[in-house]
Each structure stands twice: as structure tokens, then as C-alpha cells.
A and B are shown apart, each in its own frame.
Chain A
């Protein structure tokens, strides 16, 4: 079945460091891909998405490119801030019409000042 694998955390970085969180997927068909972020004590928020191969999603300085050849959707940010500390989830759409989300396990990011 469809699945998402993302790098284990926690990832601890200093402020202004470069961030990469790896995400790979297994899916039938052509899923849409997403990164969701969960700040402490809150629900999940959509961070960015890409709906087809080679699309780049971007938001708040974060980027991810849909790579069909490597089945990957790695999240990157050039300079992280303390306020980026959160749990990041990679997900894909599944099911008929892509209505259901399949999530990775989540990666905790901690940014130190």
C-alpha cells in the first residue's frame, strides 16, 4: 500500500543553519505530496504542497520539489529560526480522487539560538 518514510529526529540545528528533512514515498498512481507542520500544542497546518512531478512547493522560506524519479519530496530551508521549532510531517494523498492522507512518522526540529 501507499506509505511515506521520513528521516528520524529529533533534528537539532543552530539558528541560521540550513535545514533538510528527507521524505520518500511509495504510491500507486500519481499522488499529491504535502508537508504539514505542527507547532507545540497546536493542530497540523499545511506548509506546502506539490501536485505533479517537478513541481516545487514553497512557503515561509521552506521549499520541496516533487521528484518522481527518486520518489522523494525533501523539505529544505536556507536559514532556520527558533520559531521554526516544530514537528514536520510529510504526507501523500491516496485513495479514489486522492481524498485521504497518508502521513510519515514526523520529524521533530529543534532550533537553538
Chain B
């Protein structure tokens, strides 16, 4: 089984709808992240969480919210979806670094289309 899973894998929704993307991990990591990928722009950080009670905004948090329900679960919500939120969304996890940097592990992605 994959260490980092995302549901759904694909989603089509309409402008103004609320949707939730879910991420679960079995790696036992404290830290979780949400990114979006757009062609020609690479990945940009939306939100990140260093533990259940610690949520931080990333580079492009406007229009998004998150919930860290448990150490293993981190959900991303679009309260009122708009077409320019059409993108590929990735969840990632990492361990708490003992020193320096810890590798981030990515889920398979959720492809979202907002009509």
C-alpha cells in the first residue's frame, strides 16, 4: 500500500461549490504539506502543518483552508471553487528534522477541474 494516499484522484466540480481533498499517510510523519502544480509554474505551497495543532499558510493560501484531523490526516478545502483553482494538487509529508532538512514524500496527486 502507498505511504501517502490522496482522495479523490480526479474531481470535476462547478464554480461556487465547496469541495474537500483528503490526504492520509502511514509514514508516521509529523509534518504535512499541500501544494498545487500548474504548467510552467512548478509546485507552490498552499498550507503546511508541523503537528496537529500547528497550521501555517504557504505561498498561495487565499481561497483555501485546511484541517489536520489527526497526525495521519490533512485535508484541503476549497470553500467556493473558482476556475483558476483548476490544477493538480499534491500532499506531502516529512519527518521532524533532527538537523537540517528531511525529505518530503509526495502522494499521487488529485487532478481538479473547476467548470
Contact call B42/A103, Cβ cutoff below 8 A: yes
Report the interface size class on chain A: 20 to 34
From the candidates A4, A43, A49, A97, name the one contacting B108 in the complex (CB within 8 A).
A43
- Residue A101 lies at the interface, judged by CB distance under 8 Å to chain B: yes
CA distance A98 to B103 in the complex (A): 11
Q: Decide if the interface of chain B is mainly helix, strand, loop or mixed.
A: strand
- The interface stretch among B43-51, B68-76, B78-86 is B43-51
Quick check: A43 and B107 within 8 Å, CB to CB?
yes
Distance between A53 CB and nearest chain B CB, rounded to angstroms: 14
Give every chain B residue within 8 A of A41 (Cβ-Cβ): 108
CB under 8 Å from chain A, chain B span 7-64: 31, 33, 40-45, 48, 50, 58
Residues from chain A with a CB closer than 8 A to the CB of B100 are: 32, 51, 97-98
Q: Would you call A105 and B97 a contact (CB within 8 A)?
A: no
Residues of B within 8 A of A4 (CB): 42
Report B31 CB to chain A, min CB distance, Å: 7
- Nearest B residue (CB) for A43: B106
Q: Give the chain A neighbours of B107 by CB distance below 8 A.
A: 43
Residues of A within 8 A of B41 (CB): 105
Chain B proximity of A48: nearest CB distance (Å): 11
Q: A43-B90, A44-B90, A46-B103 are known contacts. Are A89 and B42 too (CB-CB below 8 A)?
A: yes
Residues in B whose Cβ lies below 8 Å from that of A99: 31, 48, 50, 94, 97, 101
Q: B101 contacts A93, CB within 8 Å? A: yes
Q: Is A100 a contact partner of B48 (Cβ separation < 8 A)?
A: yes
Identity of the chain A residue whose Cβ is nearest the Cβ of B50 in the assembled complex? A99
Q: Are B50 and A104 in contact (CB under 8 A)?
A: no
Chain A hits for B42, CB < 8 A: 4, 89, 103-106
| 10 pairs, CB–CB < 8 Å, chain A vs chain B | A36-B106, A42-B109, A43-B4, A44-B106, A46-B105, A99-B48, A99-B101, A101-B104, A103-B43, A105-B40
**What 10 pairs across the A-B complex have the smallest Cβ distances?**
A103-B42, A43-B106, A98-B101, A44-B106, A103-B43, A32-B101, A93-B101, A105-B42, A43-B108, A43-B107
